[in-house]
Structure 1
C-alpha cells in the first residue's frame, strides 16, 4: 500500500485500504496487480487520467512522421528528366522524408533489367552526398525499387 504523498503504508487488508481512501476522499488504484501482494496507491484517479492524457497529447504533437515519397524513373530516361528527378528527391530528403525510387519495366524491357539497375546505380551515385541507400535496388515483379533515406549525422 502506498499513500497519497508516496509514503509506504505497508501490507493491509483491502477493506482497510478502501476505508482509508474513502476517508481522504480519493480512489484506491491497483498499480501492480500481478505482484505477490498486489500494490495499490491512494490517488485522485480522474486527475491522474487527465495528466496522462495531457502527456500523451504532448508526445504525439512532438513526434515527427516520416513519409515515403516516390520517384518514378524510366529505363531510357533523358538527362534533363533525370536531373529533375534528382532535384525532387533532394527536396524530399531535405523535408525529412524517405524516397522510394522505382523503375517500371514494360513489355520487352523485362529482358533488359540490367539497364534498369544501371539507371538506379547512377541515381544513387548522384545522391551519394545527400542520401544513404536504405534498401538496395531489387527487382519485384515488373518493377525495380530502391529506398533512400537521410544519412544519420551522429545525433
Structure 2
C-alpha cells in the first residue's frame, strides 16, 4: 500500500517547480521560496521536502519525515477501508411448490440477510412441467415481498432466465 503513496508524492529532487509555497515541520507557513532554498531548509532540519499539493500555484511543499508521512497515510487509508461496508449477495433457492412452513423459514433467512445489509437473490427453479405454469412462482414470491416490504426494495424485478425465475432484493439504507 505504501508503494501507491510513494508514487503519489514527489520528494526532494523529484519536485519540478521553480518556486514552492513552503510549510515548516511545525505547520507554520514560511512563504513562497525558490526550490533550492526550500531544499536547503529541509536539509537544515534533517527532514524531507514533500510536495503535498502539486496542483496548487505554486505547489505546496512541507518539510517532514517522509517515512512517517507514508505510515500515517497508510494508516488513514486502512481506517477508511475498515469503515467501508462490504455488501454481499446472498442466495435463496426455492421451487414453485415450496411448502408454507419451509417458506416461513426462508423468509426468516432473507430478513436476517437484509438486517446484515446484504442483498438477497431469490431463485425459483422450475422442474419439468412446472415451467408451463410460471404464475406458481407468484404464490411463493408474494409472501416474501409482503414480509420484506419495509426492510427492502426490489432491485431486480422478477424475470425468467431459462428454467428459473430470479429477483434481487436490496436493503433499504437510512440516511
- Measured against the shorter chain, the TM-score band is 0.7 to 0.9
- The more displaced of 32-41 and 62-71 is 32-41
Once the two structures are TM-superposed, the CA of residue 71 in structure 1 deviates from its matched residue by 0.8
Size of the aligned set, in residue pairs, is: 154
SS in 2 for 1:9: strand
Structure 1 residue aligned with 2:23: 3
Measure how far apart 1:94 and its partner are. Answer: 2.8
CA distance in 2, matches of 1:33, 1:63: 28
* In 1, Cα distance between equivalents of 2:82 and 2:56: 34
Q: Which residue of 2 aligns with 1:133?
A: 154
**1:6-155 correspondence to structure 2 within 5 Å:** 6-152=27-173, 154-155=174-175
RMSD after superposition:
2.3
Relative to the length of structure 2, the TM-score reads 0.74
Uncovered stretches (5+) of structure 1, i.e. residues with no partner? none
Q: Is the CA contact (8 Å cut-off) linking 1:117 and 1:137 kept in structure 2?
A: no
Query: Normalization by structure 1: what TM-score?
Result: 0.82
- Residues 22 and 33 in structure 2, CA contact (< 8 A), matched pair in contact too: no
DSSP 3-state at the match of 1:72: strand
Unmatched tracts of structure 2, length 5 or more: 1-20
